Amino acid sequence: MNSQQTLMLTTFTDPMMGLSYESEPFLRKLETHFPGKITYRYVMSGLVRNVYDFVDQEDLTVSKEYALEKYRLKLAEIYKSEEDITGMPINMTDLQLFTTEYTSSIPLNLACKAVQLADSSKADHFLYNIRFATIVECRPTTRLEEILAVVKDSGVSADKFLKHYEDGSALAAMNDDFMLRQSLGVRGLPAYLFEYNGKRTLVNGVIGYEQFRTMIRKLSGGELTEKQPEISTESIRHLISKHPLISPVEIKEAFNLDSEQEVLERIRPFLLTKEILIKQVHRGWFIQKQ
């Protein structure tokens, strides 16, 4: 085998997706257990192109506002039910993602493509941050002003972002993503495309780490095998540097730690040197690199 051969793992998703957010710990574990063996990419898939396609049509006979309010309550319950997948905290205290003026998640998809074009090195960080703003902070991220705030927090030039967001280049890239999803027959989100040495397999729906591992071994014919990661101050620092905003659940999974309390003990040296801070959120906490 070529020593440089890696598996391409493509995730079909939408920035508003709670299922993808809850799957982040599985991806952190893949990073630490298959180091340097997997290349990751994200394809935008337009989960809610028109929110009125999802509301109860009988509610629409009352009014658009009434139908959206009923749907918001239902959507908040869907989000909260997804918290059980890995325990990443979800906050739906005042969900205002969709209104009569903001009726689609397309702006979020478009924003991700604009960031990819403006600064590809920050694209994955932005996707994580926009999910965090949407699902953990419960911000109305379908609005451009909220998106711009996340763009700036992610270290991306707002001017470069707006150029691609508004000049049609991000739209063209987003439509390419949509066409790829359609051509592969992706049915449900998230979906994962595994590609290795000319072979490919598509899996629809949420899968856990054991399923990821099985698919990787099967597709690579056993050439790609997992390796138990070293648990050290430096290895944890490296993960946090790569993911400047990260949940203790992700670190716990990445290094097979016993509890969030153990995570806290492991990161204490970084807290003492102020390399990181603890970001308290609704019913949980995150680690943020300074």
pLDDT digits (tens, 9 = 90+) for 216-236: 999 999 999 999 999 999 999
Q: What single DSSP character describes residue 97?
A: S
- Range(s) for CATH 1.10.10 in the chain? 233-289
pLDDT at 139: 98
Beta 38-44 vs 199-204: how paired, if at all? unpaired
Return the percentage of the chain with pLDDT > 90, whole number: 98
Per-residue pLDDT band for 1 (boundaries 50, 70, 90) equals: very low
User: Can you name the CATH fold of 7-181?
Assistant: Glutaredoxin (3.40.30)
The C-alpha atoms of residue 226 and residue 107 are separated, in whole angstroms, by: 37
What is the enclosing helix (H) or strand (E) of 280? Answer: strand 276-281
**What is the token pair recorded at 231?**
């648990």
The C-alpha atoms of residue 154 and residue 150 are separated, in whole angstroms, by: 6
Per-residue pLDDT band for 129 (boundaries 50, 70, 90) equals: very high
pLDDT at 41: 97
Tell me the pLDDT tens digit for each residue of 9-67. Answer: 999 999 999 999 999 999 999 999 999 999 999 999 999 999 999 999 999 999 999 99
Residue showing tokens 């399923």: 211
The C-alpha atoms of residue 165 and residue 162 are separated, in whole angstroms, by: 5
Beta 199-204 vs 276-281: how paired, if at all? unpaired
Q: Angle between the 169-184 and 106-118 helix axes, to the nearest 10 degrees?
A: 110
Asked, as a colleague might, if the bond just before 190 is cis with ω within 30 of 0, I would say yes
Specify the 3-state DSSP secondary structure of 5: coil
pLDDT at 133: 98
Phi and psi angles of residue 111, each rounded to the nearest 5 degrees, phi first:
-65, -40
Give the count of alpha carbons within 13 A of 263, CB side only.
Answer: 21
Tell me the pLDDT tens digit for each residue of 272-287. Answer: 999 999 999 999 999 9
User: Can you name the CATH fold of 233-289?
Assistant: Arc Repressor Mutant, subunit A (1.10.10)
Q: What is the mean pLDDT of the chain?
A: 97
pLDDT at 257: 98
**Res. 204: pLDDT tops 70:** yes
The C-alpha atoms of residue 33 and residue 218 are separated, in whole angstroms, by: 16
Give the pLDDT mean for 233-254.
98
**Res. 3: pLDDT tops 60:** no
| Residues forming a β-bridge with 204 | 191
pLDDT at 2: 45
pLDDT at 86: 98
**Res. 97: pLDDT tops 80:** yes
Specify the 3-state DSSP secondary structure of 23: coil
Give the pLDDT mean for 108-136.
98
Give the pLDDT mean for 120-138.
98
- Range(s) for CATH 3.40.30.10 in the chain? 7-181
Q: Are 209 and 253 in contact (CB under 8 A)?
A: yes
Q: What single DSSP character describes residue 256?
A: T
Return the percentage of the chain with pLDDT > 70, whole number: 99
Q: What is the pTM of this model?
A: 0.96
**Res. 270: pLDDT tops 70:** yes
Beta 245-246 vs 284-289: how paired, if at all? antiparallel
Side-by-side strand order, sheet with 276-281: 245-246, 284-289, 276-281
Burial string for 14-52 (b: 16+ CB within 10 Å, else e) reads: bbbbbbbbbbbbbbbbbbbbbeebbeeebbbbbbbeebb
Per-residue pLDDT band for 288 (boundaries 50, 70, 90) equals: very high
